[in-house]
C-alpha cells in the first residue's frame, strides 16, 4: 500500500529547521529501514512533515504514524532539549494527521507534489 502522510508540530511551531530538520530526515530513513517500510519521498517543512511510504497492508496507517511520531519525538527531544521550551507539555506532534492512499497511477503525482512543497 502507498500512503501519503502529513502531520504538523504541536501548535504549528516552526521548530523543524536546521539541524533538527536534518536529524528528522535521517530518522525517517532509519525508521523505514528498521520497520520494513519503503520511504519513497519525504519533505520536512518548518511546521509539518510529508511522508510518502509504501508498507505492507498488515500495518494500519495509524500504526505507521504512531511508530514514526513516537520514535522521532523521543529522539529529537533527547538530542535537542531546547525543543521542550518551544513546545509545551512535552509534545512534539499534533495528534491529528492526514493520510491518503494511492495506486501506482498516482504515485508519481504525489511524489512530485511532495517534492515541490519546499520553497527555495
What is the pLDDT tens value at each position of the chain, 120 positions in all? 999 999 999 999 999 999 999 999 999 999 999 999 999 999 999 999 999 999 999 999 999 999 999 999 999 999 999 998 888 778 999 999 999 988 765 777 888 888 888 765
β-bridge partners, 6: 50, 98
Whether 37 and 64 have beta carbons less than 8 Å apart is answered as yes
The CATH architecture assigned to 2-115 reads 2-Layer Sandwich (3.30)
Whether 42 and 114 have beta carbons less than 8 Å apart is answered as yes
Query: Cα–chain-centroid distance for residue 25?
Result: 8
Q: Catalytic site residues?
A: 113
Compute the residue count for the chain.
120
Amino acid at each position: 500500500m502507498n500512503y501519503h502522510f502529513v502531520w504538523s508540530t504541536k501548535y504549528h511551531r516552526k521548530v523543524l529547521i536546521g539541524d533538527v530538520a536534518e536529524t528528522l530526515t535521517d530518522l525517517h530513513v532509519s525508521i523505514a529501514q528498521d520497520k520494513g517500510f519503503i520511504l519513497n519521498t519525504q519533505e520536512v517543512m518548518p511546521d509539518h512533515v510529508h511522508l510518502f511510504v509504501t508498507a505492507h497492508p498488515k500495518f494500519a496507517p495509524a500504526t505507521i504514524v504512531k511508530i514514526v511520531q513516537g520514535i522521532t519525538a523521543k529522539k529529537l527531544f533527547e538530542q535537542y532539549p531546547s525543543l521542550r521550551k518551544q513546545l509545551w507539555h512535552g509534545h512534539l506532534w499534533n495528534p491529528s494527521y492526514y493520510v491518503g492512499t494511492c495506486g501506482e497511477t498516482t504515485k508519481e503525482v504525489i511524489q512530485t507534489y511532495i517534492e515541490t512543497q519546499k520553497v527555495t
